[in-house]
Amino acid sequence: MGLFFEVLSAINNPNQRGNVTQLESIINSIQQVATSRGIQPSQMQNIMSVVGNMLRPVLRQQQSLPDGNQLQNLISQAASTSTSGVGMQSLLSPQLQQQIVQTVSQTTRISPNVIDAILPTIISAVQSMLSMGSTSGGSVNSNSILHTFLDSDRDGDTDLSDVLRFGDRFLHP
pLDDT at residue 83 is higher than 50: no
Q: Left if phi > 0, otherwise alpha if psi is -120 to 50, otherwise beta: which for 109?
A: left
123-150 confidence digits (pLDDT tens): 889 988 998 988 865 555 578 898 888 8
21-65 confidence digits (pLDDT tens): 999 999 999 999 999 999 999 999 999 999 998 988 888 888 887
The CA distance from 23 to 164, in Å, is: 9
Identify the pLDDT of residue 72.
73
Mean pLDDT of 3-10: 92
Taking the model in full, what pTM does it have? 0.86
Mean pLDDT of the chain: 83
Q: What are phi and psi of 77, to 5 degrees?
A: -55, -30
Identify the pLDDT of residue 6.
92
